[in-house]
Amino acid sequence: MTAPATSFSTLPLGPAVQANLQRLGYLEMTAIQAASLPPALLGKDIIAQAKTGSGKTAAFALALLANLNARRFAVQSLVLCPTRELADQVTTEVRRLARAEDNIKVVTLVGGVPLRGQLATLEHGAHVVVGTPGRVLDHLQRGSLQLDAVNTLVLDEADRMLDMGFFEEIAGVIRLCPPQRQTLLFSATYPEEIDRLAAQFMREPLTVKVEAQH
């Protein structure tokens, strides 16, 4: 029997990752995962549009984990989110999906919490940073965060970040990422400013859109 095209087993993911997905009960990809993961795993820049609850987090989490070298202790993935709550949710999902790998450290950098704890955590290093644009930029300006090893940049809930007026902060962060990187933009809607971001900061992005339910 051949696996349907929506099975995770059709993706070029290692056996440990596949086993972890099974353990989590992730058997079939959602529509946005099936549309975005194959090109994302080929290294393409992606603009993915699908409604809330459609599984966008796992789509970018699996892509960034595929680019990650656990033995290289440097920030290789950066995920920007609009709010602290969303950053916490993304951190939880990335950690669940990263369990198959050995000791991948995911750090959350959001505003509204004291800098001191974040500075101490960053001193110990991280593979993945999930944060809000303002606080991430703050760390970059202080020199407590370096992005020179970033190979995957994710803009999650890009429409909400733009609604909240984060365009300049996002742009400021992106300018400090290496130009040779993969950029993945996820959004529930497609306002005009997304085109502006894409035109400035993405390389021939592939747009994938899932209309209704998955």
Chain contacts with ligand ADP (rule: CB under 6 A): 25-26, 29-30, 33, 50, 52-58
Helical H segments across the chain, by residue range: 15-23, 31-41, 56-66, 84-98, 115-123, 133-142, 158-163, 167-174, 192-201
**19 — phi, psi (to 5°)?**
-65, -40
Q: Write each residue from 1 to 40 as x if it is in contact with Mg ion (CB under 5 A), else as -, in one continuous string.
A: ----------------------------------------
2 binds, among ligand ADP, Mg ion, none (CB under 5 to 8 A by kind): none
- Per the CB < 8 A criterion, the answer to whether 136 and 173 are in contact is yes
Shortest distance (Å) from residue 86 CB to ligand ADP: 8
Residue with the two structure tokens 């987090």: 57
For Cα atoms 197, 214, 17, give the angle at the middle one, nearest 5 degrees.
80
Q: How far is the CB of 61 from ligand ADP (least distance, A)?
A: 8
In angstroms, give the least distance from the CB of 188 to Mg ion: 8
Q: Is 56 in the site for Mg ion (CB under 5 A)?
A: yes
Which is nearer to Mg ion, 186 or 201 (by Cβ)?
A: 186
d(CA 127, CA 102): 11
Query: Tokens for 114?
Result: 């004291």
Between 26 and 166, whose beta carbon lies closer to ligand ADP? 26
The two three-digit tokens of residue 38, written as one number: 């194959």
Least distance from Mg ion to the Cβ atom of residue 65, Å: 17
Quick one: what does residue 26 bind among ligand ADP, Mg ion, none, with the CB cut-off 5 to 8 Å set by partner type? Answer: ligand ADP
Does position 49 interact with Mg ion (CB under 5 A)? The reply is no
CA pair distance 183, 46, nearest whole angstrom: 7
Q: Map residue 209 onto helix, strand or coil.
A: strand
Q: Is residue 135 a contact residue for Mg ion (CB under 5 A)? A: no
Which residue lies nearer to ligand ADP by CB, 55 or 147? 55
The least distance separating ligand ADP from the CB of residue 124, rounded to whole angstroms, comes to: 28
Site residues for Mg ion per CB under 5 A: 56
